Structure 1
Amino acid sequence: MVLTLRAVSNPMQEAFVQILVEHNLVSPGDRVLVAVSGGADSVALLHLLHRLAPTFPLTLCVAHLDHALRPESADDLLFVQRLCERFALPFVSSRESVAEMAEQRGVGLEEAGRDARRSFLTQTAARHDCRWIALGHHRGDQAETVVHRLLRGSALSGLAGMRLKNGPFIRPLLSFSRQQLLDYLDRQGLPHVQDKSNDDFAYTRNRIRHQVLPVLQSLNPAVEEHLAHLARRIESEEDYWAGEERRVLETLARRRADGLWLDCKTLAEVHPALRLRVIRRALGEVRGSLAGLGRLHLEAVASLLGGLRPQREVHLPGAWVGRRYRQLWLRRFPPVIGEPYSLPIPGPGSYPLPGGAELTVSLVETGAGEDRWSVEFDASLLRFPLTVRTFANGDRFHPAGAAGGKKLKDFLIDSKIPREERRSLPLVVGETILWVAGVRRCHGLRPDSGGAAVVRMVLKMADCPTIGL
């Protein structure tokens, strides 16, 4: 890369190369898709990459999306196409009615346009085997982003603004002002198009650009630079916090097929600044995205850690979180309580249960001992047929080790069994409840040491249960 820098004589181009090298935005031999709207910033980006591509080397492809919002948008497409012909670069274009998309989805034009561009660019990059997608955002765009997010009540992480590299997207112009780009185009004799929608105050960003930032600049002419510098500092600190979030989440999380489980006590002891970040990361893992989540959502989840009620829940956009005694349960959707069932056990054998579990009942000469998932009874004291069923109102149970019986519901609450489990726990029943499977056997009926035959029951769960967390 040293040879590359020496080969560049234009100061703007030299600064551009410096950014590419220092931040490792591209590597020799990469294929780069350049998003070009026809505006000054994207044209400057394309020209800079085109001039430097042979030296790195890079292979470029240009993409343009017509949002179908202005009558002259077809002219913009034609301008970019001719520019690519001038530079002898491959060109890909598409047209998407952003207005129709916004109406169908019930979102604003800005959000719909952003989603349409992202989808078009990522799909085009994949088709053309491009490793990177270069965007023309400059320092002014970064300042607008910071102010915009401040106005929307963003958390600190949002004030990191746009990153130089984020997934497949790179933004090599973030350190340059719009005026620097305009001066560069003027020196190179390069035309660009003017998007009239940039002056439409119906768009929040345009109001920030034309109304808010000029006021701030009247107080401090360098406010744009300061805002961009603030974003870079926060980005650096966010990278540090991300490592802490991952470390803490690994210490208190259990990932299972039924969701993500977090230890409440450990999470409550984490510093509040880090606690909300860990919750956000956990939700992002469960949802696959953080879109639509804000500070109030995170605080609602954190509020579950306190209070006297051991079982509470909150419904969030795209997620459900419930406190179940000592654990916080995070899922994409609320848990579904299984349908009640009652199945006969006429004698020894294997009995599939709803939900994928299996109960095995066998008659053996010698017991092998009990654990959470297996129990043994004196065969002479048991009478078939038995039943395996779910909870029923009015059930009573005399658990092993207790002085007497009690309502099964009270026993399950005392055992801190989540409410979703209470209605789906397999109960093996004879004249009384013999076994709350996975939780406790009944009092008495144990095999004696005289060599009598033993009825052994083993429950095999389909997946790791939530019982007894």
Structure 2
Amino acid sequence: MSPQAMSNNFEKRFRHHLLLRCGVKENTRILVGLSGGADSAALLHLLKAAGHTTIAAHCNFNLRGNESDADEAFVRDLCRKEGIEVHVQSFETTAYATSHKLSIEMAARELRYRWFQQLMAQHDCDLLATGHHGNDAIETFFLNLSRGTGVRGLTGMDYRREQLIRPLLFASSDEIRNFCKERVLSWREDATNSETLFVRNKIRHQIQPLFEELNPSFFATMQHNLDHLRELAAFFDTEMEKLRNEWVAQEGDTHLIPLRLLREHPQKNSVLFELLRPYGFNSKAAQQIAEGLDSEPGRQFFSATHRLVIDRYNLLLVKDEENDQNRYILEGGSKQLTVPLSLKWASYPKTEAFILSKNPHEVQLDAELIDFPLYLRKARPGDRFIPLGMTGFKKISDFYVDQKLSLLQKEDTWLLTNGHDILWVVGHRIDERYKITPSTRAILHLTLL
């Protein structure tokens, strides 16, 4: 097949997925998230060629200095040449991340989609289109697989979710670049895409190529796998919604889940995770809660937004107002936190040259036992952990007494948590369960600056 024929075939496949997978009708007004990369440039061209009214939106997050400004200039010039209306917004992303206690990645996502929603309302756009492609979906699958996000996370990405569409999910990044070359479409390269410092980039440049060596048709195979998983997730969501309506009761501000029904369910772990997911509990926390179902009443667990109490007959879930104000999130892709502590972290493989740090402000933990995001918070009544070197649990309050901390020192001490587990009493002691052992293969290294 000639390059031109391949290009025409690509456009036909795009229109097929746009209609059948994204449900886009003729003459739709679409806001396009335009980064300036090959995927978004191709998306803009294809939507315009399909006869849709397109409006472009570009975010300058001011994270890459002159490169960010060059991306903005490129997008403006591209839209001027194509006769497409473009809107550009400059964000102080780092300042926003600090003030809202977010990682840079989460801050950029929040800023981006909030602004997109505003633009859609102002310009009567029916849909928001992004240039995510098939390789992005595969990367998301592996990323979620490593984090333990349940069935829904294994679907990678959806072609459509409410007003958001991703019509290029059928295509690989190479196919998109070849299409751009054949149609003589310009685009900008993001230098950070080739770096392997970020987890997603490691998957892209190290993990996917290994699977492609094992199976030359790996991309097509994964497309089929993801389609099957999307169907499975849709079925699972339907069944879980029925279960949620039958099981979860509400009394005032409290949600109740019957312990008896949970204990008797043959898939109680999966069911519990799905029931708790809307309240901010990750798979690690859900596993710990499942293991504590038969513990004495009164045991508490916390997510980023909610407090869960194991009562005599029910799990009780309430909005944790204090938690909203006094808990800070450490995302896996982020590397530094400046508020309320100056803390940086990195993960790397354990090698024979590894030397364990003895500095109390610099700790190393077994990374394979840790499930991001982590949380930084103050102590609460009933908190306990296994101090390094011990075999049994000790209450945090008793540990503070043993360390002879003054009242002010206690109030100023932070806890780093993994689900319900306390990983590190910051500046004092790590948990015995997360220490480096001879079987440790990967290390999470945290430094208090």
What is the distance in 2 between the residues matched to 1:280 and 1:153?
Answer: 10
Quick one: which of 141, 158, 166 aligns to 2:161?
A: 166
Q: For 1:69-120, what per-residue CA distance to the aligned partner results, in whole angstroms no more than 9, with x for missing partners?
A: 2212222112212222222221111111333334445554333333332222
Matched, 1:320 2:318: no
Moved more, 148-157 or 294-303: 148-157
Instruction: Report 1:2-151 matches (<5 A).
Output: 10-53=8-51, 58-70=52-64, 71-105=66-100, 107-151=102-146
1:245 and 2:240 matched? yes
CA-CA distance at 1:39 after TM superposition: 0.6
Query: Counterpart amino acid of 1:17?
Result: R
Q: Matched residues in 2 for 1:131 and 1:79: separation?
A: 26
Which piece of structure 1 moves more, 41-50 or 147-156? 147-156
Question: TM-score, normalized by length of structure 2?
Answer: 0.65
CA distance in 2, matches of 1:256, 1:30: 44
Cα offset, 1:219, TM superposition = 2.3
Distance (whole Å) between structure 1 residues aligned to residue 240 and residue 18 of structure 2: 29
Change (3 A) 1:271 1:223: same
Amino acid across the alignment from 1:32 = I
* 1:263 counterpart = 2:258: yes
Q: Which structure is larger by alpha-carbon Rg, 1 or 2? A: 1
Please state whether the residue corresponding to 1:160 is helix, strand or coil.
coil
The Cα RMSD (Å) is: 2.3
1:211 shift after superposition: 2.3
Q: Name the aligned partner's letter for residue 282 of structure 2.
A: G
| Aligned counterpart in structure 2 of residue 209 of structure 1, from 200, 204, 208 | 204
Provide, for residues 282-320 of structure 1, a one-character-per-residue CA deviation record: whole Å limited to 9, x for no partner.
4345x4xx4xx321211233334324x344332333111
Residue 333 to residue 201, structure 1, CA distance change in 2 (3 Å):
same
Q: Whole-Å Cα distance in 1 between the matches of residues 100 and 198 of structure 2?
A: 18
- Output aligned runs, 1:361-372, within 5 Å: none
Could you tell me how far apart the structure 1 residues matched to 2:312 and 2:282 are? Answer: 26
Q: 1:234 aligns with which of 215, 229, 243?
A: 229
1:305 aligns with 2:293: yes
- Who is 2:272 aligned against? 279
Farther off after superposition, 125-134 or 113-122: 113-122
Q: Which runs of 5+ in 2 are unaligned?
A: 1-6, 323-449
Q: What SS does the aligned partner of 1:161 have?
A: coil
Structure 1 SS opposite 2:299: strand
Aligned residue type for 1:322: V
* Matched residue SS, 2:316: strand
Residue 195 of structure 1 and its aligned partner are, at CA, apart by 1.3
Give SS of 1:321's match: strand
| Aligned residue type for 2:283 | R
SS at match of 1:243: helix
Higher relative contact order (CA 8 A, sep 6+): 2
Alignment of 1:285-296 (within 5 A): 285=278, 287=279, 290=280, 293-296=281-284
1:132–1:169 CA contact under 8 A, matched in 2: yes
Moved more, 178-187 or 91-100: 91-100
Q: Distance in 2 between matches of 1:258 and 1:120?
A: 31
Residues in 2 aligned to 1:245 and 1:172: alpha-carbon distance in whole angstroms: 28
Q: Deviations over 1:315-365 (max 9, x none)?
A: 333111123222221111289xxxxxxxxxxxxxxxxxxxxxxxxxxxxxx
Match of 2:414?
A: none
Aligned pairs for 1:388-467 (under 5 A) are none
Structure 1: 5+ residue stretches without partners? 1-8, 336-469
Q: Is the alpha carbon distance of 1:214 and 1:166 closer, same or farther for their aligned partners in structure 2, counting shifts above 3 Å?
A: same
Equivalent position SS for 2:25 = coil
Q: How far off is 1:232 after superposition?
A: 2.2
Greater CA drift, 218-227 or 168-177: 218-227
Conserved in 1, the CA contact under 8 Å of 2:135 and 2:173? yes
Letter matched to residue 69 of structure 1: L
8 Å CA contact 2:305, 2:321 repeated in 1: no
Residues 235-263 of structure 1: per-residue CA shift (max 9 Å, x gap): 21111111111111222221232311122
SS at match of 1:241: helix
Distance 1:216 1:284 in 2: 31
Change (3 A) 1:276 1:123: farther
Distance in 1 (alpha carbons) for counterparts of 2:238 and 2:151: 16
Q: What TM-score, normalized to structure 1?
A: 0.62
SS at match of 1:176: coil
Opposite residue 158 of structure 1, the aligned amino acid is G
The 1-side partners of 2:49 and 2:88 are apart by 22
CA distance in 1, matches of 2:93, 2:210: 32
What SS does structure 2 have at the residue aligned with 1:194? coil
202, 214, 219: which one aligns with 2:214: 219
- The number of residue pairs the alignment matches comes to 315
Q: Which amino acid is 2:231 matched to?
A: S
Q: 1:191 aligns with which of 186, 191, 197?
A: 186
TM superposition shift of 1:147: 1.9
Check conservation: 2:22, 2:159, Cα contact below 8 A.
no
Which residue of 322, 330, 334 maps to 2:317?
A: 330
CA distance in 2, matches of 1:215, 1:245: 36
Shift of 1:38: 0.8
Change (3 A) 1:29 1:270: farther
